[in-house]
Structure 1
Amino acid sequence: MTHLDHITVGDQQVPVVTTTSLVIGTGSAGYNAAVRLAGFGAPDVVMAADKIRAGASRNAGSDKQTYYKLTLSGSEPDSVRSMAETLFSGGSMDGDNALAEAALSARCFYHLIEAGVPFPANHSGEFVGYKTDHDPRQRATSVGPFTSKSMVESLESKVRRLGIPVIGNCRLVDVLVDDGNVRGALFLRTDVGAARSAATEEEIVETNVGEEPSPEPTGTLVEQLAKEPSRFLLVRATNVVMATGGPAGMYSDSVFPHGQWGGAGAALRNGARGHNLTEWQFGLASIKPRWNVSGTYMQVVPRFVSTDAEGGDEREFLSDVIDDPNLLASLVFLKGYQWPFDIRKARDGSSLVDLLVYRETVMRGRRVFLDFRSNPAGALDADQLDEQARVYLERAGVADLAGTTPIQRLRHMNEPSYQFYLGRNPGVDLEQDMLEIAVCAQHNNGGIAVDGWWHSSVVDGLFPVGEAAGAHGVYRPGGAALNSGQVGSTRAAQYIAAHRAEAPEGDGFDAVATDVFGRAATLLADAVARFEAGAEDNTGTLITDVTELMSRNAGLVRSRASVLEALEQVTQWLESYPETVVVDDSSRRSVNRLFLIHDILTSQYVYLHAMKDYLDHGGNSRGSVLYTDPDGDLPWPDQDLGLPEEFRFVLDAGALDGVTQEVDWNGAGEPVFTWRDVRPIPSDDDFFENVWRNFRTDRGVPARQS
């Protein structure tokens, strides 16, 4: 049974929650893991999160957020194997993960429907779909801008009905690992300490106007913890399901919502293996509020306007490079379909737009806005557009580009996309105001290495799920991440229920907990002592500096020189951090940032080493990243567009698709890298009698071979 006791470290009494399974994170993957663990009969589940209502699942989306699954309507042929091959073809993806994501996609999709997610069906009950990026079928579906939010809320309701304790205000400090076995986790309790500091923009979770906050969970365990004075919390657990999302805090130019930071550093620092860490996705997004400007926002062909830092010197900068207004309009339209930056489309396609925005913002220090109030300069003629754009706009009833404005087209085609910005915090009226954008980090396709059951490949009992797991390849279909989060958390719960449902062992916990807690308490005490000695709290400056460095040197455009420069600086920050960070003990925000920045620096250190190793391994531009190569070509090589030399690149062209990069680090020395062949798609025995015989023995969940 889950219970609360204490451990004494020095003169401090630290509360300890003991449970069989700890789920860290309250997004769609985390809540699904908890629901599935209970449903499969696994005992004693506890959830913990920094901010229960924060996170990408609840607060991120687009004009039409996509969920990817097997085709479940119409006459178009599809199969589990075909879907697995689509996922696997993205490059550097393991086949067992691809097959599991395909095989369980229908099961997880229907589970969401039964939980209350209103995916659209026709009158015959078929769940219709559409084609998304990197998708040869029509496997995509959506419930609108807030698909993942609907998933979170529906699964959260099930967790509450099941009575599973959900502990909020818990910043993950470290995953406890002893001799390759997970023992639990250490958290900072962000609601305990000196007087609460004033709320700032970074502490505000963007919500719809009129939306009521979710009630804080109550229950015996939560009520007991509310009386505990300790700033720290230890959890002793047999299993840790890590649903902390991607390492969103690494970049300043980010579309991850405020309050989503990730926790990759805690896992990497304690021996978890990194996988495909170099593979980020970047795309155009508004920055206040943070939101993808994909789909209709691009298809209505808004103006792209650049200004100086104060908002003056306004100009339409895209036409400086592409002087044909109809070609430019076609490229902007196609960004709606081709939203993530794709280096293959930078050569002669729509990803040129991302690079031009990047040049204005990062390289020239200017600001970029979308203006929906008037048309781009030049004579727009729908008949002169790319055929895909022309046909779409005709069918949508807005082909008269000269006689309408982008905002008129937007409100005609997708009124909720207009209303969305009115209802955000801060609100933006696109009929009156321009919308500031940047090229932002959006998703990490890599993460913590997992096997086919989303079990850490090197730490027994650690189950990274959702974006925390390194389950994707270089490319993935739009919406595949939401499916992967549901499948991975389901597979993890299946494995735990079948093989790891025992109470946590007492041996080993006290020693590792005492050691990890001691380091954290010393870090805090020393940082506070420097403040009390007269030094100024530097956590605000640090978090700005470390994230801006990453966006500037290791974002959409990278070079060996920029990566090495960032790595040198991050190494210096990380090594000197225990002696230089200064914390105001009266500010919970400052204390929270002490551990947050440490996690970010840890992640940046390993990720930058991964980028360096990728280049050392002969890697070229691929996925959503341009690696500068002086021997390469500029985008649109047949035309002299006056682009900077930093945009020269050589396409990877699939050279490394059959292998994958992995990294091991234990918090000391430099990371160690290996490259291995990807695991192929399994060719399981599908003869019914054989499968049935095996199923009667292991229920379809075989134990991991040592």
Structure 2
Amino acid sequence: MKESSIRANGHGIRIYSLNTAVVGTGAAGLNAADRLFSLGQTDIAIITENLKAGTSRNTGSDKQTYYKLTLAGSEPDSVYDLAKTLFNGQCVDGDIALCEAALSARCFLKLAELGVPFPHNRYGEYIGYKTDHDPKRRATSAGPYTSKYMTECLEKAVKQKNIRIFDKMQVIKILTDKNKLLGLLCLDLQNLHDPDKRYVLFNCKNVIYATGGPAGMYADAVYPFSQKGASGIAFEAGIMGKNLTEWQYGISSVKPRWNVSGTYMQALPRFISQDKNGGDEREFLLDFFADKADMLSKVFLKGYQWPFDVRKVEDGSSIIDILVYIETCIKGRRVFLDFRQNPAGADIDFSTLSPEARDYLEKAGAAFGKPIDRLLHMNEPAVEFYRGKGVDLAKEPLEVAVCAQHNNGGLSIDNWWQTNIEGFFAVGEVSASHGVYRPGGTALNAGQVGSTRAAQYIAANRKGDAPYIEEFIKKALPAIADSIGLGGKLLSNSDTVNEIWNRAAKRMSRFGGIIRSMEEIVQAAAETKNELKSFKEIVKISSYRELPRAYRLYDMLLSQYVYLRAMEDYIKYGGKSRGSALYTDKDGIKPYESLPDVFRFTLDDGTIGDMVQEGIYKNGECEFNWRKVRPLPKDEDFFENVWRSYRENGNIY
């Protein structure tokens, strides 16, 4: 790595020239750096806004899942069977599915060797269980903090190799030239007060982008507050998006942000709502369900079926998500889970529950008492988690909302996780390796596989130094000046960033979340576009300390606009309700007559399940195209032929 400097726009700017910059310190980013170094590419550095921030380190559930090839028991499994499961999730490219299947065992076992405490039996088998959309027992877990353990072990491995970490650096511009990467412009968050240290440039041949999903777009999100994402500036740089319409949403606590899946629902809590002032408390599920046992059975099923699934609205547990959404997003009320009392304030007759709910609770020895009693009996750590965060479920209700949880789409990648910009790789949630449906836990595997593939490709095919400084500056200077100039024009004696941010995020949760209608999406996209066009006029900051949030707001609005336009294009293409999105259709069915007409919809019939939507942001507009998924490869698997290709350097790449 070489260091130099220039002056631009009245600022002194440090420049670091290196082969590869890894952006992000979640599990995917840390693994990318660790793999690169181990493969011999040591001219690398990690750039992060906060080493201890992000989704991998600060999120989880009652039992956070890692999905991989079966490594125990007598049930047959194969790489190709696993790839078919991933591929069958719709809108999934087959070559990516095969890569994620083929490397799953390798990546999982590396984590186990690094110290992630995945459970195994006395013979060394890593026992599995079934998760959603999983035909076999491929799932495993190290508990609520599986991804946290992963980042901790990978961070330790990175530090042992003395890989340089640039902490407190925020990427604000991706620099490109004719579909080739040039580098990155960053804010030094520790030197915002100093104009000669405020901006930093990275001149690099490769970037591995591991910034996570665009969490900041939504007001209602289960992502940790430290996770914002940086997809907008990627779109601005001309990087293609893919499957952007495909998200997962579910009922989550608001403070702290955490999935209330599993035993939180199986304990059968009371659902209450209040007005914004804390008054007018109502047990709103009772207003909807005529049959209390049916209501309780559907609440129980939310534990298994945590993500909202439009296929499960009619006669399924996703009606619970709809009712919570009505209270919060439409009526503007606050919703809470109350574990202190039974629903309707009366003892539960467990014999009236659905067989699945009744049998589970009886086998667990939990067919008794109040919700808090059942939760403590079945999963005491679930109670202790909230107590450790300042919420005692035995004494107070827990505020919840239907929250964005994971983006199955993202930046479009090939089977080495390289985007359409040469030298720019996207790994982890920011990359679009998933489709409409995916087995729980595949995201953790995808992040490890994608970062491994990107590192392999760079180490084999993209070695060498960064471009000469003179060439880099000549090509990048106009974009550098434009980005620095944007920040300078925002200074004022007022501050409007939080106001605009909150308004935009609430708009996205209301119109671009689980319920989507063409009219409202078009309106929301138009409002977002106007905010982008007038950004320099409407966004004001009172000091340079507010620059980071102002640049994040710009990125967030860019993301919102591209995602909303993708939803609009999906409807125009003939797309119907699928996954975690209900698209309003006036000619569709209404699963319950008492629901408002906005919940009338038509289920997708799978006819476009083999099509992928891709989009480019260009000159303030979005262009979309649809293509067939790449099929599952069926390469020659005769050993001698593969061995020969592998020996002949580069042939596998």
Determine the C-alpha separation between the residues in 1 that align with 2:406 and 2:277: 30
Instruction: Give the Å deviation of 1:655.
Output: 2.0
Q: Aligned partners of 1:392 and 1:509: how far apart in 2?
A: 63
Q: State the AA in 2 paired with 1:420.
A: F
Runs of 4+ in 1 over 6 A off after TM superposition: none
Matched, 1:281 2:248: yes
**Aligned match of 2:563:** 607
Distance in structure 2 (CA, Å) of the matches to 1:274 and 1:267: 9
**Distance verdict in 2 for CA 1:408–1:379, change over 3 Å:** closer
Counterpart residue number, 1:553: 511
How far has the Cα of 1:508 moved from its partner?
A: 4.1
Q: Residue in 2 aligned with 1:664? A: 616
Structure 1 residue 502 displacement after superposition: 1.2
Q: Which residue of 1 aligns with 2:579?
A: 623
String of CA shifts for 1:527-551, please: whole Å, max 9, x gaps: 11xx1xx4x2111111111111111
1:319 to 286, 307, 311: 286
Contact 2:59 2:224 in 1 (8 A): yes
Residue aligning to 2:155: 156
Q: Partners in 2 of 1:86 and 1:700 — Cα distance?
A: 28
- Cα distance in 1 for partners of 2:24, 2:432 equals 17
Matches within 5 A, 1:638-653: 640=593, 642-653=594-605
1:399 Cα deviation after fit: 2.1
Q: Does 1:308 align with 2:275?
A: yes
Once the two structures are superposed, what CA deviation does each residue of 1:33-84 show, in whole Å capped at 9, x if it has no partner?
A: 0000011111311001112111000001111111101111111111111111
Counterpart of 2:644 in structure 1 is: 693
Q: Check the 8 A contact 1:285/1:292 in 2, yes or no.
A: yes
Query: How far apart, CA to CA, are the structure 2 residues paired with 1:276 and 1:437?
Result: 28
Task: Choose from 177, 192, 206 the match for 1:239.
Answer: 206
Question: 1:406 — aligned with what?
Answer: 371
Q: How many residues align?
A: 651
Q: Does the CA-based 8 Å contact 2:176-2:476 persist in structure 1?
A: no
The corresponding residue for 2:74 is: 75
Q: Distance in 2 between matches of 1:546 and 1:364?
A: 18
Amino acid at match of 1:539: V
* Aligned counterparts, 1:84-483, within 5 A: 84-194=83-193, 229-377=196-344, 380-400=348-368, 404-424=369-389, 427-456=390-419, 458-483=420-445
Letter in 2 for 1:628: T
Which amino acid in structure 1 is aligned with residue 533 of structure 2?
A: E
Among candidates 583, 605, 617, match of residue 541 of structure 2: 583
User: What's the offset of the Cα at 1:380?
Assistant: 2.4
Shift of 1:302: 0.5
- Greater CA deviation, 498-507 or 230-239? 498-507
Show CA shifts across 1:129-178 (max 9, x none): 11111111111111111000000000000011110111111111011111
Contact 1:494 1:701 in 2 (8 A): no
Q: Is the 8 A contact 1:325 1:380 kept in 2?
A: no
Give yes or no for contact 1:610–1:663 (8 Å, CA) kept in 2: yes
User: What are the ranges of 5 or more consecutive residues in structure 2 without an aligned counterpart?
Assistant: none
Preserved CA contact (<8 Å) 1:498 1:701: no
Provide the C-alpha distance between the structure 2 equivalents of 1:118 and 1:452, rounded to a whole number of angstroms.
30
Name the CA distance, whole Å, in 2 between partners of 1:386 and 1:38: 54
1:188 Cα deviation from its structure 2 partner? 1.1
For 2:387, give the aligned amino acid: L
1:10 deviates by 4.1
The CA deviation at 1:699 is: 6.1
* Identity percentage of aligned residues: 51
1:37 corresponding residue in structure 2: 36
Q: Distance in 2 between matches of 1:502 and 1:84?
A: 34
Whether contact under 8 Å (1:234, 1:513) holds in the other structure is: no
Q: Residue in 2 aligned with 1:219?
A: none
Q: What secondary structure sits across from 1:632 in the alignment?
A: strand
Q: CA deviation at 1:18?
A: 1.1
Residue 515 of structure 1 pairs with residue 485 of structure 2: no
SS at match of 2:565: helix
Q: What is the DSSP-based 3-state SS (H/G/I as helix, E as strand, rest coil) of the residue aligned with 2:248?
A: strand
Which residue in the other structure is 2:633 paired with? 682
Q: Distance in 1 between matches of 2:293 and 2:80?
A: 41
Once the two structures are TM-superposed, the CA of residue 366 in structure 1 deviates from its matched residue by: 0.7
Aligned-residue offset at 1:347: 2.1
Matched, 1:502 2:428: no
Shift of 1:701: 3.4
Counterpart of 1:423 in structure 2: which amino acid? Answer: G
Q: 2:590 aligns with which of 600, 619, 634?
A: 634
- Matched residue of 2:509: which SS? helix
- Contact 1:245 / 1:467 at 8 angstroms: preserved in 2? yes
- CA shift for structure 1 position 700: 6.5
Once the two structures are superposed, residues 436-492 of structure 1 have per-residue CA deviations (whole angstroms, 9 ceiling, x without a partner) of 000001111000000011111x10101100001011001111000000000000000
Q: Deviations over 1:302-321 (max 9, x none)?
A: 11111111111111111111
TM-score (norm 1): 0.91
Q: 1:598: which partner in 2? A: 554
TM-score using structure 2 length: 0.98
Separation of aligned partners in 2, 1:684 and 1:123: 37
Describe the SS at the equivalent of 1:171.
strand
Contact 1:585–1:591 under 8 Å retained in 2 = yes
Separation in 1, partners of 2:139, 2:477: 48
Q: Name the CA distance, whole Å, in 2 between partners of 1:394 and 1:229.
A: 67
The 2-side partners of 1:487 and 1:384 are apart by 46
Q: Specify the alignment match of 2:450 in structure 1.
A: 488
Cα deviation for residue 665 of structure 1 reads 2.0
| 1:336-394: CA deviation from partner (whole Å, max 9, x where unpaired) | 11000001111220000000000000011111000011111255222222222222212
Instruction: Tell me, yes or no, if the aligned pair for 1:307 and 1:314 is still in contact at 8 Å.
Output: yes
1:43-62 maps to which residues of 2 (within 5 A)? 43-62=42-61
Q: State how far apart, in whole Å, the 2-side matches of 1:675 and 1:698 are.
A: 35
Asked whether the 8 Å contact 1:263–1:599 carries over to 2, the reply is yes
Q: Give the superposition deviation at 1:11.
A: 3.2
1:228 deviation in Å? 9.3
Query: Aligned equivalents of 1:559 and 1:551: distance in 2?
Result: 13
Return the letter of the residue paired with 2:364: A
SS in 2 for 1:622: coil
Q: Distance in 2 between matches of 1:228 and 1:613?
A: 43
Give the match for residue 543 of structure 1: 501
- 1:220 aligned residue: none
Distance 2:650 2:527 in 1: 51
2:18 partner amino acid: T
Larger deviation, residues 65-74 vs 574-583: 574-583
Provide the C-alpha distance between the structure 2 equivalents of 1:117 and 1:152, rounded to a whole number of angstroms: 9
CA–CA separation in structure 2 for the residues paired with 1:372 and 1:700: 60
> Once the 2 structures are TM-superposed, how far is the Cα of residue 653 of structure 1 from its aligned partner?
2.0
The farther-off stretch of 247-256 and 576-585 is 576-585
Paired with 2:312 and 2:9, the residues of 1 have a C-alpha distance of 59
Query: Counterpart of 2:75 in structure 1: which amino acid?
Result: E
Q: CA deviation at 1:229?
A: 4.2
Distance 1:676 1:508, change over 3 A: farther
Asked whether the equivalents of residues 428 and 448 of structure 2 are also in contact (C-alpha less than 8 Å), the reply is: yes
Equivalents in 2 of 1:623, 1:670: separation in Å?
A: 27
